[in-house]
Amino acid sequence: MRIENSVAFVTGANRGLGLAFAKALLKGGAGKVYAAARDPDAITLPGLIPVRLDVTNRQEIEAAAIACGDVDLVINNAGISRGSPLLAPGAIEAARAEMETNFFGPLLVSRAFAPVLARNGGGAILNVLSALSWISFPAFATYSASKSAAWSLTNGLRNELREQGTQVVGLHVGFMETEMAAGANAPKSRPEDVANFTLAALVAGEEEVLADEVSRGLRQGLSAPRGVYLGAPKR
């Protein structure tokens, strides 16, 4: 996958990592960047093409796939976190909202754009996942469940789209300097650094991107004798 002269479609492109991806794509010479957001007026960066898109709205997704028929790179970035433990009041509502955006959103977008990518030579789909795809903390438990589902979705899409030549990439990263992670007391990466690192990996043909030390350490810990996802041992 090449960035130069590519035609990209980025969800949640009005802020945070989505905006960083949009900027990096323009800087990398993309021929066109569709910037999707619930409110297209929130897209103000010159050079972007605003698209109205709520990733939980199937009709808007299907309309976007028709209107943006020249796309060869889809970045499923839009996501939400309600910051809920599994057993807290409102956890079911939080989990449903997160699954709708973080799992069903990328699934619907990928289904709508897969034929577009096939017509345009295969292209690529990049799903923004999380280091929390692999572990769960009480404050982000429902979010972790949705991102675990999105990780499985990414692996499944890779299998189903391989024959049409579509590269499917999963991005894992810890906390970033974004509005979503504003309340997290932990080391944070710059969205710009994550976007540049990820696009370089995409060009190199990678299928999985571990964008920071946190995600690399957790990925390695999955195969430890006591898997990192089991948490600290009891005393």
pLDDT at 231: 87
Q: Measured between alpha carbons, how far is 78 from 80 in angstroms, rounded to an integer?
A: 7
The reply to whether 110 falls in a domain is yes
| 2-21 average pLDDT score | 97
Q: Is residue 32 part of a domain?
A: yes
Provide the mean pLDDT of the chain.
Answer: 95
Q: How confident is the model at residue 175 (pLDDT cuts 50, 70, 90)?
A: confident
Q: Rounded to two decimals, what is the model's pTM?
A: 0.95
CATH (domain of 192) = 3.40.50.720
With respect to residue 1, please indicate whether it lies within any of the assigned structural domains. Answer: no
Active site residues: 143
Residue 135 belongs to a domain: yes
Instruction: Tell me if 2 is assigned to some domain.
Output: no
**Which residues on adjacent β-strands are paired with residue 74?**
9, 125
Residue 170, φ and ψ in degrees, nearest 5: -110, 125
Does residue 217 form part of some domain?
yes
Read off the pLDDT of residues 191-230 as tens digits, 9 standing for 90 and up: 999 999 999 999 999 999 999 999 999 999 999 999 999 9
Amino acid at 170: G
Question: Using 50, 70 and 90 to split pLDDT, how confident is the model at 178?
Answer: confident
The answer as to whether 127 is a domain residue is yes
Q: What is the pLDDT of residue 181?
A: 63
Residue 235 maps to a domain: no
Contacts of 187 (CB under 8 A, 6+ apart): 174, 175, 214
Across the range 7-19, mean pLDDT stands at: 97
CA pair distance 103, 97, nearest whole angstrom: 10
Q: Domain containing 78: what range? A: 7-230
| Number of domains the chain is built from | 1
Beta bridge pairs of residue 124: 73, 167
Burial readout 147-158 (b: 16 or more C-beta within 10 A, e: otherwise): bbbbbebbeebb
